[in-house]
Amino acid sequence: MRLTIEHTTGDGARAGRLELAHATISTPAFMPCASHAVVRACPPHLVAGLGIEVMICNAYHLWQRPGADIIGVMGGLHEYMSWPGALMTDSGGFQAFSIGGNSGISEEGFAFRSHLSGELLQLTPEVSIRIQNQLGSDVAMVLDECVAYPAERAYVADSLGRTARWAMRCKHAHGREDQALFGIVQGGVYSELRASSAQMTVDIGFDGYAVGGLSVGESRQEMLAALEAVMPHLPVDAPRYVMGVGTPMDIVECARRGVDLFDCVLPTRNARHGSLMTWQGPLNIGRREFVTDERPLDPNCSCPACRRYSRAYLHHLHRAEEAAGWQLLSLHNVRFYVELMERLRAAIAGDSIAQLAEQLSPWTQRDNE
């Protein structure tokens, strides 16, 4: 893995290229969620057609179905999905924790019941790394505890130590040379704890660093403060990833502070609810006003929905709950994020992030809702 930084701004934003085992991607990059080895409603070749270079899959879900060993036998996730780009995997900790009923965390790992088979299972740092090794993603993540918001300082502080010990066990268990391993910084909204977690994680030493536990309910101000507490501690030459973030404005504000990688379910989940992103602002396709609107969602967008179909037809497909509509709207929103990242990289190269943030002002209201 190699990060080449081509442009930086005074703020600390950076744009460049990240060479991974299966593909080189432009950064800052957005990764759509392909938790079950597919972006919901969108076969991989259609996602590739939008310009997406990297996706994130979920170790928990793929462990449960079809099984990490199955994907290993098939030559790894890239081959299994026929995906030409790069792939990251999440550790599965968040899912084991939340699906398993918020219980069963111990020094050893997570104990939980499979939501599919009902079987009692353990997700430890070693198990998560074994799964991700079998999946063969370009980047694996350490197992961590994503602390909920709000959380008491004492609980967060206590959790940090365990997360650091797990990170060490993950690093020890990790065997694949063609797979990068990222550590994860936690610490809730407590700047001191964030800084201390960052330092512990960097001391262990990883190929890249993620900031987890953000976009879980805190305000944007709290989120950016937590991020700012972390960034000075991270090495400049390693990629930085903010997990689960976020809205267009969140992404711009995080990139401004030096983040290289993002993932979020927003584009596809919003599409399912008819909530679309355009450069003219948000648009809810289910609204009655679109029933005879002959215009495309966004005249400048190159996605299949905008190139071929009217708002009226997309309104109809959405109201009729047709899967074809869900797909077209998802492709549009994912394409919006591709273009957002293109504009963001250009803005970093041209030192004009403030103007890009201004262009996103139609979004600000919605972001804060």
d(CA 247, CA 244): 10
Among 31, 41, 55, 340, binds a copy of itself (CB under 8 A): 41
Is 90 noted as a catalytic residue in this protein?
Answer: yes
Does the protein bind a copy of itself through residue 39 (CB under 8 A)? yes
| CA nearest neighbour of 58 among 120, 141, 125 | 141
| Minimum distance of a copy of itself from residue 275's CB (angstroms) | 18
Does the protein bind a copy of itself through residue 13 (CB under 8 A)? no
| Minimum distance of a copy of itself from residue 331's CB (angstroms) | 9
* Per annotation, catalytic residue among 90, 138, 250, 260: 90
| Minimum distance of a copy of itself from residue 186's CB (angstroms) | 30
Does the protein bind a copy of itself through residue 115 (CB under 8 A)? no
Strand partners, 185: 211
| Minimum distance of a copy of itself from residue 272's CB (angstroms) | 10
**Which lies closer to a copy of itself via its Cβ, residue 319 or residue 366?**
319
Among 12, 49, 304, 362, binds a copy of itself (CB under 8 A): 304
Structure token pair of residue 60: 């928990």
- Length of the chain measured in residues: 369
Does the protein bind a copy of itself through residue 36 (CB under 8 A)? yes
**Which lies closer to a copy of itself via its Cβ, residue 41 or residue 249?**
41
What is the total count of residues that contact a copy of itself (CB under 8 A)? 39
Does the protein bind a copy of itself through residue 349 (CB under 8 A)? no
- Which helix (H) or strand (E) segment is 105 a member of? none
Q: Cβ–Cβ contacts within 10 Å for residue 295, how many?
A: 11
| Minimum distance of a copy of itself from residue 313's CB (angstroms) | 6
- Tell me whether the omega of the peptide bond preceding residue 246 falls within 30 degrees of 0, making it cis: yes
| CA nearest neighbour of 326 among 41, 32, 1 | 41
What DSSP character marks residue 117? T
Binding mask 232-271 for a copy of itself (x = CB under 8 A): ----------------------------------------
Ramachandran quadrant class, 283 (left: phi over 0; alpha: psi -120 to 50; beta: rest): beta
Among 159, 325, 334, 336, binds a copy of itself (CB under 8 A): 325
d(CA 89, CA 290): 39
Is 138 noted as a catalytic residue in this protein?
Answer: no
Q: E-assigned strands of 148-237? A: 180-185, 208-211
Q: Cβ–Cβ contacts within 10 Å for residue 19, how many?
A: 13
Burial of 77 (0-12, 13-18, 19+ CB in 10 A): buried
* Per annotation, catalytic residue among 207, 263, 293, 351: 263
**Which lies closer to a copy of itself via its Cβ, residue 2 or residue 65?**
65
Residue identified by tokens 């050893």 is 108
Structure token pair of residue 168: 């060490």
**Which lies closer to a copy of itself via its Cβ, residue 41 or residue 252?**
41
Binding site for a copy of itself (CB under 8 A): 36-45, 65-66, 70, 73-74, 80-82, 291-292, 294, 304, 308-310, 312-313, 315-317, 319-320, 322-328
Give the residue numbers marked as catalytic. 90, 263
